[in-house]
Structure 1
Amino acid sequence: MKSNTTQTTGEIIRKLREERNLPLRKIAALLDMDTSFYSKIERNKRKATKEHIYKLEDIFNLERNFLMIVFLSEKIYNEISEFTCAAEVLKIAEERVLNGKLK
């Protein structure tokens, strides 16, 4: 599965679950959470944790970090999107990540 930058984590995991004909309750049980809570994650009403993301990658047999990339990009976007300097912030953050340190 290829990452689509317009899809949310919730949309991706819903599609994966439906493609495999798995009920909500089964995925929720594998994640050790209430079915209602998991349903809210799929509908983008609640946020998964990074631990949930890693488990979902295992459950759906996805390449490691496939969902994590989408998950983290959503978190970053939600944090900085209101600022007019968001693009500049991302450029500096990228430089810091590539250099492996904070400047």
Structure 2
Amino acid sequence: MCLGIPGRVVEVHDDAGLRMGTVDFGGIRREVCLSCTPDAGVGAYVIVHVGFAITRVDEGEALRTLEVLRAMAGVVEGELGEPLPSVEKQVAGDSVD
């Protein structure tokens, strides 16, 4: 099963002409291609599918979606390879690196 997982962009950079970034999924950070979301800068929430940010989403919707995914025991872990921390941890860690 493939899911689009919401996360917050914490860094944007260029990698050989490709717009890339680091996206935080509530404590888990992954390198993501941001080419399909040129307006997504640091602090923006995006939906990521197979390593590509495919659209922007507002923070409230992102956090609600993460909670639903957490409730689906094991689904997010299967997609990201490790469990997500709670939403409280993500909101508390809201400072951008």
**Between Structure 1 and Structure 2, which shows a larger proportion of strand residues?**
2
TM-score by length of 2: 0.30
Structure label with greater radius of gyration: 1
TM-score normalised according to structure 1 size: 0.29
Q: Which has the higher helix share?
A: 1
